[in-house]
């Protein structure tokens, strides 16, 4: 796993680049639709259309990276990872500049849209511009309307338009990405039909879905916390993989979708479906191809399995109090990078409530191994003391203090188990540290007084 600061950089670049990339593709598709229908926009109309898409992105940028915008809240629905430190980070540029630019960008956006559509109508595009006009509308729905609406406080009571507080907005980016993916499948399928190897939409879509999911599954396996000791899936791995996969996609896309390139333009803008059909050139052995697709199918299965195991079977196992079965599901999830500290804690807590505290301890430890926290070490130390005694609990507090050396609760907890383990003299220094941080801590004051009573003047 990348160091956290590198991952944060990639995540921030990814979430900033995404709307720019989507805007560029929407413009390319809108222009392609016009030209394939025989419409040759004037330079001014093309320039106005181009500007409408990038002004739309400008509104997003101002909300992402300027004071008074979305700030440290996650702009695209990944706020759940913010507590782990693997999240989008705003540049927090001067808010005064945002206040000046946003009204200008909003006005320029609507003017450029109106100008582009008006010029196309003047040039006789008529009904031929309807598909491109729909792409302009999609761009507005994805970016312009929600982000301009956010700035002007329009739509605060409409959940999907509430960028900061609306629960429904958590799924917003997923739907935008899905729309982006559908555009790809639609366009690539259209041109793939010209290939002599074309075997119909069913096989094509099956291969696209299988390979697409495999691309996402492979990094989860290779970068799982058990191999690289990095973040777990829910606390940074998922968004880091999303950033890496998409940045690769954006860079690759920049080389592919270039209408200015004569060869690419000849393919994307050709008007006769049969012209320039691609001949099979692959010299790969059939055995190699079968082996490759077998591996891809296995990775696809690893992407699908969590929906069955984690989302379906695990909750059912907890409900049935089948704790061995639930643990086995999470053990298997570790093999494909989806073991979860939260689910381990849920399992362990339910086992404690059912009187199986001793059996729950390994799951608490596994939860901490996946996602350490000061509160987690405190809880495990307290539970271990109750079950196994203060000496065994000492290890939990020591492990916690290695990661959180200034945590007052852990310092206090270690001091108390030291007193109960016959190390009262050594506990004095820890109790004094607690009181330095919290002079009115009643537990530490009482414990220190007790130690001094036992040891007399030697306690100081």
Residue from 57, 65, 68, 67 nearest 24 by CA: 57
Q: Tell me which of 105-114, 219-228, 327-336 is least confident.
A: 219-228
Tens digit of pLDDT for each residue in 50-93?
A: 999 999 999 999 988 888 777 544 544 444 445 566 778 888 88
- Structure token pair of residue 357: 């505290």
Task: Give the pLDDT score at 151.
Answer: 84
What is residue 277's DSSP assignment? P
Task: Give the pLDDT score at 37.
Answer: 86
Instruction: Report whether pLDDT(167) > 80.
Output: no
Instruction: Report whether pLDDT(159) > 70.
Output: no
pLDDT bracket for residue 272 (50, 70, 90) = very low
Task: Give the pLDDT score at 270.
Answer: 53
% of residues, the chain, pLDDT over 70:
85
Task: Give the pLDDT score at 310.
Answer: 94
- Residues 348-377 have a mean pLDDT of 94
Residue matched to tokens 């899905």? 178
Task: Give the pLDDT score at 436.
Answer: 93
pLDDT bracket for residue 2 (50, 70, 90) = low
Instruction: Report whether pLDDT(164) > 90.
Output: no
pTM for this entry: 0.78
Cα distance between residue 47 and residue 298, in whole Å: 47
> Residue 91 in 3-state DSSP?
coil
Instruction: Report whether pLDDT(435) > 80.
Output: yes
Instruction: Report whether pLDDT(323) > 90.
Output: yes
Helices H / strands E in the chain, number of each? 20, 0
Tens digit of pLDDT for each residue in 345-360?
A: 999 999 999 999 999 9
Q: How many CB atoms lie within 10 A of CB 347?
A: 24
Cα distance between residue 419 and residue 98, in whole Å: 58
Instruction: Report whether pLDDT(186) > 90.
Output: no
- Residues 276-282 have a mean pLDDT of 46
Residue from 317, 318, 392 nearest 361 by CA: 392
Phi and psi at 279, nearest 5°, equal -90, 145
- The beta-carbon contacts of 141-144 under 8 Å, at least 24 apart in sequence, are 142/19, 142/22, 142/26, 142/176, 142/179, 143/19, 143/22, 143/23, 143/56, 143/57, 143/59, 143/60, 144/55, 144/56, 144/59, 144/109
Instruction: Report whether pLDDT(106) > 60.
Output: yes
Mean pLDDT of the chain: 84
Task: Give the pLDDT score at 69.
Answer: 74
Q: Tell me which of 182-191, 202-211, 398-407, 444-453 is least confident.
A: 182-191
What is residue 143's DSSP assignment? I
- Residues 233-258 have a mean pLDDT of 82
């Amino acid at each position: 796993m990348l160091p956290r600061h590198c991952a944060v950089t990639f995540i921030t670049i990814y979430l900033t680049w995404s709307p720019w990339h989507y805007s560029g593709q929407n413009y390319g598709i809108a222009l392609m639709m016009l030209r394939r229908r025989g419409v040759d926009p004037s330079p001014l109309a093309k320039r106005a259309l181009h500007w409408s898409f990038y002004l739309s992105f400008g509104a997003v940028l101002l909300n992402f990276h300027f004071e008074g915008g979305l700030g440290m809240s996650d702009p695209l629905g990944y706020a759940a990872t913010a507590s782990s430190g693997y999240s989008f980070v705003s540049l927090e540029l001067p808010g005064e500049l945002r206040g000046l630019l946003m009204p200008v960008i909003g006005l320029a956006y609507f003017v450029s849209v109106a100008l582009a559509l008006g010029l196309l109508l003047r040039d006789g595009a008529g009904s031929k511009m309807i598909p491109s006009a729909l792409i302009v509308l999609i761009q507005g729905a994805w970016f312009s309307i929600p982000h301009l609406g956010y700035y002007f406080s329009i739509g605060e009571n409409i959940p999907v338009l509430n960028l900061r507080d609306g629960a429904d907005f958590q799924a917003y980016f997923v739907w935008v990405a899905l729309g982006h993916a559908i555009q790809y499948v639609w366009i690539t399928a259209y041109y793939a039909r010209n290939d002599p190897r074309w075997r119909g939409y069913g096989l094509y879509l099956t291969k696209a879905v299988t390979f697409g999911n495999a691309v996402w599954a492979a990094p989860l396996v290779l970068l799982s916390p058990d191999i690289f000791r990095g973040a777990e899936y829910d606390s940074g791995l998922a968004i880091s993989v999303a950033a890496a996969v998409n940045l690769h996609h954006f860079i690759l896309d920049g080389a592919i979708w270039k209408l200015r390139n004569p060869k690419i333009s000849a393919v994307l803008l050709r008007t006769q479906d049969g012209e320039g059909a691609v001949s099979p050139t692959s010299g790969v052995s059939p055995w190699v191809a079968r082996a490759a697709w077998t591996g891809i199918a296995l990775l696809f299965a690893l992407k699908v399995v969590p929906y069955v195991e984690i989302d379906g079977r695990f909750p059912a196992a907890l409900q049935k109090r089948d704790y061995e079965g639930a643990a086995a599901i999470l053990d298997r999830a570790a093999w494909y990078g989806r073991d979860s500290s939260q689910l381990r804690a849920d399992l362990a807590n339910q086992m404690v409530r059912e009187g199986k505290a001793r059996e729950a301890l390994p799951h608490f430890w596994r939860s901490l191994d996946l996602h350490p926290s000061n509160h987690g070490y405190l809880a495990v130390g307290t539970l271990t003391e109750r079950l196994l005694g203060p000496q065994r609990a000492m290890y939990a507090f020591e492990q916690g203090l290695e990661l959180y050396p200034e945590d007052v609760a852990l310092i206090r907890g270690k001091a108390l188990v030291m007193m109960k383990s016959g190390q009262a003299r050594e506990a004095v220094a820890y109790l004094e540290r607690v009181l330095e941080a919290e002079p009115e801590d009643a537990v530490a004051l009482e414990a220190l007084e007790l130690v001094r009573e036992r040891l007399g003047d030697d306690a100081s």
